[in-house]
Chains A and B, each alone.
Chain A
Amino acid sequence: MSLIKSSLARKYVMALSGLFLVTFLLLHVTINLASVISPDFFNEASHFMGYNPLVQFLMQPILIAGVIVHFVMGFVLEIQNKKARSIGYVKYNGSANAPWVSRNMIYSGLVVLAFLGLHFYDFWVHEMAYKYVEANPEDPTRYYHETVEKFAPIWRTVLYVVSFVLLSLHLWHGFASSFQSMGVNNKYTPNIKRIAKTFAVVVPLLFAFIAIYHHLNPITH
């Protein structure tokens, strides 16, 4: 019981849910890359993810729960941290001792959360309506052109790319930080930080590349 109330437990929850979401990002970007390399494989993978009962009814709810736990806990921590210093400094030189990204995780996180709202509306809501409301028959060939068409408007492509920049900033601090929260700070830490920061740059860059690629290469009927 003491674990649930403790400030350290909240750190563990943020770290573990964050690490879980990082592994999901890796899976997501891998499947997305297929849309650039092989539209057929992308259709196949998307169809599998969309209709496999294990993915749909076990992994998808776990993923949604992971997202909710991460951002709800993020808000709880932010509120508690603000309460710990109700009278602020007249002059506070935060940049003297900590990088901007580490001090503004709430803002990069809020942008990513807003992006998730748009992203869910764009793909998940559409998919749920297609399958369960309109009860359309299975069509394993539709995913590629549906995805490419989403990136036709410039505004959506720009919003996605801006969100990926903020995602990168969030991961830059968050990924490596989750190891520290779980008590891992040893001789492997410099390498863990290098890998985490490479991930924080490469994965959002790939997401942005895929969005821009589809915007520049529309399907011609």
Chain B
Amino acid sequence: MKLYLKIWRQKDASSPGKIVDYTLDGVEGDMSFLEMLDILNEDLIAKGEEPVEFDHDCREGICGTCSLQINGEPHGPDRLVTTCQLHMRKFNDGDTIVIEPFRANAFPVIKDLIVDRSAFDRIQQAGGYISVNTSGNTVDANCIPINKHAADEAMDAATCIGCGACVAACKNASAMLFTSAKVSQFALLPQGRVEAVERVQNMVRQMDLEGFGNCTNTGACEVECPKGISLTNIARMNREYLSASVKG
């Protein structure tokens, strides 16, 4: 299949970027989207041109490294998949594909399609953990009985891979889905209740400091999330924060 690609090219963080047109022939439906970009880059290198920079690592949908806004949607038109799992059979011969970096002021572009998502790391560092004694007296987690329903919900929240698609999809560039998933995975478990008040306050404070927008409940994040993280997590974080604010 022959594709017409419109790709955002930007030399570095401080340079202005622009859309550059490429035509790529011989793309197979069984290729992943990233393999298609690999072929483009091999062509560019053979021609002596600068290859297109993009993030990738595991290429099996579990690391959260790949990103890309593809035809106006994070991770492309398919549902519940990351860009590395998106197959070219989702596109047709002669299609024009617009490929851009995730856009948010909190995710500045480093080069071409690569953005700096360390804002998520800082939110996580602000409270996305539990304090346990690891000096030899660690209590076995299985000693504490946990309701199956709560364990399942916590696991669902913990499947967030922190890719940033929620921010990219949101018209407000809000990070509420990510932050709420990271709050929820602890809030639902007895081990997480000990630091629950400080956790939600600190993580929300960091989220605001990073310059993400406000949530207006459009639900775009939930639709585009490759791991199917639910809006119920945002509601849970809203409850947790309200209760933490009342408790002081």
> Do B8 and A90 have beta carbons less than 8 Å apart?
yes
Interface size (A, Cβ < 8 Å)? 41
| B98 neighbours in A (Cβ, 8 Å) | 90-91
B23 touches A (CB below 8 Å): no
- Cβ-closest chain B residue relative to A173: B217
Size category of the binding interface on chain B: 35 or more
Shortest C-beta distance, B46 to chain A (Å), equals 27
**B104 contact set on A, CB distance < 8 A:** 84-85
Residues B97-117 near A (CB distance < 8 A):
98, 100, 103-106
Give the shortest distance, in Å, between A209 (CB) and chain B (any CB): 30
Check if B215 is an interface residue, CB within 8 A of chain A: yes
Q: Are A90 and B6 in contact (CB under 8 A)?
A: yes
Any chain A CB within 8 A of the CB of B208? yes
**A81 adjacent to B172 (CB under 8 Å):** yes
A1 → B minimal CB distance (Å) = 10
Within 8 A of A (CB), among B201-248: 201, 204-205, 207-208, 211-220, 223-224, 231-232, 234-242, 245
Asked whether, in the complex, the Cβ of B204 is within 8 Å of the Cβ of A6, the reply is yes
Interchain CB contact under 8 A, B238 and A181: yes
Contacts of B245 in A (CB 8 A): 2-3, 9
**Interface 1/0 per residue, B4-42 and A, CB below 8 Å:** 001010000000000100000000000000000000000
Docked CA distance A1–B169 (Å): 31
Cβ–Cβ < 8 Å partners of B231 in chain A:
180, 185
Binary CB contact string for chain B from 159 to 197 against chain A (1 if under 8 A, 0 otherwise)? 000000000010111100000000000000000000000
Stretch at the interface among B56-64, B66-74, B80-88, B134-142: B66-74
Nearest opposing residue in chain A for B171, CB measure = A103
Which chain A residues in 68-97 approach chain B with CB under 8 Å? 77, 80-81, 83-94, 96-97
The yes or no answer to A125 lying at the interface (CB within 8 A) is no
14 pairs, CB–CB < 8 Å, chain A vs chain B: A7-B207, A7-B208, A7-B215, A9-B245, A80-B213, A81-B213, A84-B213, A90-B6, A93-B72, A97-B73, A98-B218, A180-B238, A183-B236, A185-B236
State the 10 A-B residue pairs at the shortest beta-carbon distance, nearest first. Answer: A93-B72, A183-B239, A185-B235, A84-B213, A81-B172, A97-B223, A183-B238, A98-B218, A84-B173, A81-B213
Starting from the known contacts A5-B208, A12-B242, A183-B240, 17 additional A-B residue pairs (CB-CB under 8 Å) come to: A7-B207, A8-B241, A8-B242, A81-B214, A84-B106, A85-B213, A89-B100, A90-B6, A90-B98, A94-B72, A96-B77, A97-B223, A97-B224, A102-B218, A181-B215, A183-B242, A185-B232
